[in-house]
């Protein structure tokens, strides 16, 4: 039976109070013990981090006020993964959208088959993950890994097609964390494909047990399939399907620009005030959102937060935004998303103050081709 997602309480309210409650609930010890399990003590901070509502140093500082957090703690290490992916995005730009190494097999389909789109593959773990993604906009890390591995290695769909689809439905959809994680699963980031099987699912998500399906194989066989041009196909029979939620470009906005000359320019990845003494204008660039469309839930998250901050929200095409900001004294937070990135570069040339996203770990000048290279380079600079 299908439930109407709009009737459930919002698991990610875009408010300071909700973020504070999440931070307070974190138990780094329980996180380290249980994070691999679907019902483990994960933080669910990702929508707040992706949208710049908070940042990694602020999370670490909040945790340290309550816990004796060390560099070796699993949670710190996972937060470092976020910064690693942002590091690669900042250094490679749109290069993150192409394979960084060759994939294990020769041919992959350019599009996701309908049975995956509709959560009707017949593999319970995969269909449940698709339903949860559509219903909540959130997936546990393990569920993301399983879904991506199934799509790429068992169904032979290009990681890029899978990544574009998944990122569109995530409330925390982050082009660096998402697309580079898909590359990690596909084997095009590290050279090694990520494989999983039914035993793995039974251990960490018994409610999604999938015995007797395409994932119920040994790792040697899965590895052979991953390297061959074989699509194992959906399970035989017909399976209940779910509708994919609609996606939208930048919504219409009716707010006016403030009259003040000195303003803070915000955007969907900087949902925190950096210069609260200035009036805030939040920019939505339709050019970006034509390529990367979001579900209504995600727009509600972004706009709800901007409302909480009292920012005027304007949707301007690139050229209009540049013209409207001419002669203003602008402060803005950096961003690596296309069109926004170019707009901010133009504003910088005109003298705008561009604030970096606060980082816990350094951003090495040269791209680190592995997480361990990054970690070895940056960890020393922390304490
Ligand atoms: C295929 C795939 C797609 C992904 N897409 C995204 C995405 O679009 N946006 C996104 O923020 N994360 C993405 N991740 C990384 C990770 O799954 C999510 O950050 C995490 O599940 C979010 O839930 P949480 O906040 O409860 O995480 P927790 O486990 O509580 O971790 C706390 C924070 O650390 C960071 N973090 C933890 N694990 C990772 C990781 N493996 N890689 C990068 N950062 C991590 C996140 O910022 C997260 O919010 C993806 C992973 C995979 C395998």
Residue 314 belongs to domain spanning: 262-351
Which is the closest atom of ligand 1 to the Cα of 47? 11
Structural domain contains residue 254: no
Which is the closest atom of ligand 1 to the Cα of 184? 53
Query: Does residue 130 sit in the same domain as residue 221?
Result: yes
> Cβ(52)–Cβ(59) under 8 Å?
no
- CB under 8 Å to 232, separation ≥6 — which residues? 154, 155, 214, 225
Q: What is the CATH number of the domain that holds 326?
A: 3.40.50.620
CA angle (122, 42, 13) in 5-degree steps: 90
Given this model, what pLDDT does residue 381 score? 65
Which is the closest atom of ligand 1 to the Cα of 84? 43
Residue 52 CB less than 6 A away from ligand 1: no
Query: Does residue 18 sit in the same domain as residue 54?
Result: yes
Place of tokens 């504003």: 347
Residue 173 CB less than 6 A away from ligand 1: yes
- CB under 8 Å to 272, separation ≥6 — which residues? 52, 53, 54, 55
Domain boundary among 67, 96, 125: 96
Domain boundary among 50, 67, 96: 96
> Cβ(205)–Cβ(38) under 8 Å?
yes
Q: What is the CATH number of the domain that holds 212?
A: 1.10.579.10
Residue 49 CB less than 6 A away from ligand 1: yes
Ligand 1, atom 12: nearest CA belongs to which residue? 177
Residue 50 CB less than 6 A away from ligand 1: yes
pLDDT digit string (tens) for the chain, length 383 residues = 344 545 567 899 999 999 999 999 999 999 999 999 999 999 999 999 999 999 999 999 999 999 999 988 999 999 999 999 999 999 999 999 999 999 999 999 999 999 999 999 999 999 999 999 999 999 999 999 999 999 999 999 999 999 999 999 999 999 999 999 999 999 999 999 999 999 999 999 999 999 999 999 999 999 999 999 999 999 999 999 999 999 999 998 877 888 899 999 999 999 999 999 999 999 999 999 999 999 999 999 999 999 999 999 999 999 999 999 999 999 999 999 999 999 999 999 999 999 999 999 999 999 998 999 999 999 876 54
Query: Does residue 92 sit in the same domain as residue 187?
Result: no
Given this model, what pLDDT does residue 240 score? 97
Given this model, what pLDDT does residue 238 score? 95
Ligand 1, atom 39: nearest CA belongs to which residue? 78
SS (H, E, C) 77-126: HHHHHHHHHHHHHHHHHHHHHCCCCCCCCCCCECCCCHHHHCCCCCCHHH
Query: Does residue 215 sit in the same domain as residue 129?
Result: yes
3-state helix, strand, coil in the chain (%, to 5): 45, 5, 45
Phi first, then psi, for residue 305 (nearest 5°) are: -65, -40
Given this model, what pLDDT does residue 169 score? 98
> Cβ(82)–Cβ(49) under 8 Å?
yes
- Split into its structural domains, the chain has a count of 3
* Residue 304 Cα to ligand 1 middle (Å): 23
Structural domain contains residue 73: yes
Structural domain contains residue 120: yes
Nearest-10 Cα torsion for 151, 152, 153, 156: 90
> Cβ(137)–Cβ(171) under 8 Å?
yes
Given this model, what pLDDT does residue 383 score? 43
How many other β-carbons are positioned within 10 Å of the β-carbon of residue 270? 24
DSSP category for residue 305: H
Query: Does residue 19 sit in the same domain as residue 86?
Result: yes
Structural domain contains residue 80: yes
* Residue 265 Cα to ligand 1 middle (Å): 27
Place of tokens 């699912």: 201
Query: Does residue 78 sit in the same domain as residue 140?
Result: no
Query: Does residue 149 sit in the same domain as residue 212?
Result: yes
Structural domain contains residue 135: yes
Query: Does residue 89 sit in the same domain as residue 176?
Result: no
Phi first, then psi, for residue 281 (nearest 5°) are: -120, 125
Given this model, what pLDDT does residue 189 score? 98
Query: Does residue 272 sit in the same domain as residue 302?
Result: yes
Query: Does residue 72 sit in the same domain as residue 155?
Result: no
Query: Does residue 203 sit in the same domain as residue 122?
Result: yes
Is the pTM for the entire model greater than 0.85?
yes
- Distance in angstroms between the alpha carbons of the first and the last residue of the chain: 52
Phi first, then psi, for residue 338 (nearest 5°) are: -55, 155
Structural domain contains residue 342: yes
Ligand 1, atom 5: nearest CA belongs to which residue? 178
Phi first, then psi, for residue 331 (nearest 5°) are: -115, 135
Structural domain contains residue 102: no
* Residue 321 Cα to ligand 1 middle (Å): 32
Given this model, what pLDDT does residue 7 score? 58
Structural domain contains residue 283: yes
């Amino acid at each position: 039976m299908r439930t109407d997602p709009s009737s459930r309480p919002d698991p990610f309210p875009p408010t300071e109070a909700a973020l504070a409650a999440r931070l307070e609930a974190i138990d780094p010890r329980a996180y380290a013990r249980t994070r691999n399990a679907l019902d483990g003590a994960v933080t669910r901070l990702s929508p707040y981090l992706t949208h710049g509502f908070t940042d990694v140093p602020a999370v670490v500082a909040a945790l340290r006020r309550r816990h004796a957090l060390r560099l070796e703690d699993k949670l710190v290490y996972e937060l470092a993964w976020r910064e690693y992916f942002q590091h690669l995005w900042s250094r490679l730009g749109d290069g993150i959208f192409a394979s960084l190494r060759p994939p294990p097999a020769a041919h992959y389909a350019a599009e996701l088959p309908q049975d995956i789109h509709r959560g009707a593959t017949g593999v319970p773990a995969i269909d449940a993950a698709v339903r949860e993604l559509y219903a909540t906009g959130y997936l546990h890390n393990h569920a993301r890994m399983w879904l991506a591995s199934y799509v790429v290695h068992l169904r032979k769909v290009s990681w890029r097609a899978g990544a574009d689809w998944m990122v569109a439905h995530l409330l925390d959809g982050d082009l660096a964390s998402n697309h580079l994680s898909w590359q990690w699963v596909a084997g095009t980031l590290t050279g090694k494909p990520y494989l999983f099987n039914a035993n793995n699912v039974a251990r960490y998500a018994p409610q999604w047990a999938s015995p007797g399906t395409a994932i119920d194989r040994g790792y040697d066989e899965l590895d052979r399939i991953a390297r061959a041009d074989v699509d194992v196909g959906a399970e035989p029979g017909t399976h209940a399907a779910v509708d994919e939620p609609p996606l939208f470009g930048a919504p219409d906005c009716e707010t006016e620009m403030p009259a003040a000359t000195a303003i803070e320019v915000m955007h969907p990845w900087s949902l925190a005030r950096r210069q609260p003494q200035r009036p805030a204008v939040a920019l939505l660039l339709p050019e970006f959102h034509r390529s990367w469309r979001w579900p209504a839930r995600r727009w509600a998250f972004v706009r709800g937060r901007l409302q909480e901050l009292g920012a005027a929200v304007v949707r301007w095409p690139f050229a209009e935004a540049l013209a409207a900001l001419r002669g203003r004294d602008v402060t803005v937070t950096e961003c690596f998303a296309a069109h926004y990135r170019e707009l901010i570069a133009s504003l910088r040339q005109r003298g705008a103050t561009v604030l970096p996203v606060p980082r816990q770990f350094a951003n090495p000048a040269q791209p680190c081709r592995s997480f361990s290279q990054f970690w070895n380079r940056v960890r020393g600079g922390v304490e």
